[in-house]
Amino acid sequence: MTEEKEKLLERIQEKIRVRLNDKFRKGDTEHENDLLSIDLLSEAFDEVLDLSVYILALQEKSVDYYQKGYADGFKAALQPIDKEETD
């Protein structure tokens, strides 16, 4: 891979590492420090449903931006992508 792609991969991995760490710790607290005692299959199914809604909403948002004449509508629909920007 090119150096540029290696740097992109490193940034992506770091963002995933930080967000996964935060998400896991929050979930552990919410589930009273006993994640393995909950119905993981049901929880996973609910997460898939949430993800489906997020994807469809993102699609609607990007189409809306495009129809309003924004040249970078999809890019705008994805902002902000950094956790620090959403806090």
DSSP state for residue 50 in the 8-state scheme: H
Q: Distance (Å, rounded) from C-alpha 52 to C-alpha 43? A: 14
pLDDT in tens, 14-35: 999 999 999 999 988 888 878 8
Q: Distance (Å, rounded) from C-alpha 49 to C-alpha 64? A: 23
pTM score > 0.75 for this model? no
pLDDT in tens, 39-62: 889 989 999 999 999 999 988 887
